Amino acid sequence: MRLHELWEKNLSARNAWQHLPGTYLSELLASSGVDVVTLDLQHGMINLASAGDSILAIEARGAAPFARVPEVDVAQIGSLLDAGLAGVICATVESRAQAEALVGAIYYPPIGKRSCGPNRALLSFGKDYLDCSQDRLVSFAMIETVAGLEAVDEIAATEYLTGLFIGPGDLGISMGIGPGQDRSEPEFLEAVERVKQAARRHDLRLGIHANTPEYAANMAQQGFDLVTVCADAELVGSGAINAVQRFGQL
Ligand code: 3PY
Ligand code: MG
């Protein structure tokens, strides 16, 4: 899979964020050249059945299907992975125990506790899926609260966790500097540095959400391995506003 090849070469992967359900939308995003499409099951309008369909569509267009989930729900994560999901980004991880639960939900024994029933994942990854899933499936713990920041070292020390993913909006709110993306407040950049250092110490991948490809590129240059370069709702919304403005007032 392209994602792991990029990471082996220490290149960053480009992520598209999908909030709205639909396989055609998934195909459009995955065909853009991004390496990952993340289905948002926390703040998006995508349910489990729709995510299953989108996983096929994303995979068919050569990108890796990821999902952002609101919490470690073993049943939900298991179903998504059995359908062929390649990576899980779990919101609001604030402790080592939560990070361990995440790893436990994704990987099979003896690493984790995932129940065996890979079904469609065998078609996505091949017959050796059970033996190789620990090398192929990606687990990101989102650091997006002060509590998560305080615990970032113990979270990063979780065995088999792939990486840390910063949620700038929630992190800013939790820090008392308000919501926002693509931020450059000194205290926010300090928090980013703290997450970066923890990831470096424990040899983890680093991800961050961004609202513009320029900010994402800047983060990629600073060593982030997974950066969001676009999101469906913003693309449609800003495209429509742009069209109306260009049409003008008759
Ligand atoms: C945040 O900015 O809080 C996020 O969760 C980004 O998706
Ligand atoms: Mg968030």
pLDDT per residue over 151-194, tens digit each?
999 999 999 999 999 999 999 999 999 999 999 999 999 999 99
- What is the reported pTM? 0.97
Query: What pLDDT is stored for residue 1 in this prediction?
Result: 59
Q: Answer for the pair 13, 225: CB distance below 8 angstroms, yes or no.
A: yes
Cα of 78 vs centre of ligand 2, distance in Å, is 22
What the block records as the tokens of 211 is: 């609202």
Mean pLDDT of the chain: 97
Between the CA of 83 and the centroid of ligand 2 the distance, in Å, is 25
pLDDT level of residue 34 (50, 70, 90 thresholds)? very high
Element at 189 (helix H, strand E) = helix 186-201
Percent of the chain with pLDDT strictly greater than 70: 99
43 is catalytic: yes
Q: What atom of ligand 1 comes closest to residue 173's alpha carbon?
A: 3
Helix, strand or coil, per DSSP, at residue 13: strand
**Nearest alpha carbon, ligand 1 atom 4:** 167
- Which atom number of ligand 1 is nearest to the Cα of residue 91? 5
User: Is 48 a residue whose pLDDT tops 90?
Assistant: yes
In this structure, the residues whose C-beta lies within 6 A of any atom of ligand 1 are 144, 167-170, 209
Q: Is the pLDDT of residue 250 over 80?
A: no
**Would the pLDDT of 118 be above 90?**
yes
Taking the alpha carbons of 216, 217, 218, 219 in that order, is the dihedral positive or negative? positive
Among 142, 164, 171, 182, the mutation site with the greatest number of ligand 1 atoms within 8 A of its Cβ is: 142
Please name the residue whose Cα sits nearest to atom 5 of ligand 1.
167
How confident is the model over 225-241, as a mean pLDDT? 97
**Mean pLDDT (whole number) for 6-28:** 98
- 21 C-beta neighbours (distance < 10 Å), count: 17
Q: What 8-state DSSP symbol labels residue 33?
A: T
pLDDT of residue 104: 98
Report the SS3 class of residue 16. strand
CA of 129 to the centre of ligand 2 (A): 31
The string of pLDDT tens digits covering residues 60-70 is 999 999 999 99
Share of the chain above pLDDT 90, in %: 97
Specify the residue for token string 């992190």.
Answer: 171
Mutate to test the pocket of ligand 1, among 46, 69, 170 (most ligand atoms within 8 A of CB): 170
pLDDT in the model for residue 249: 75
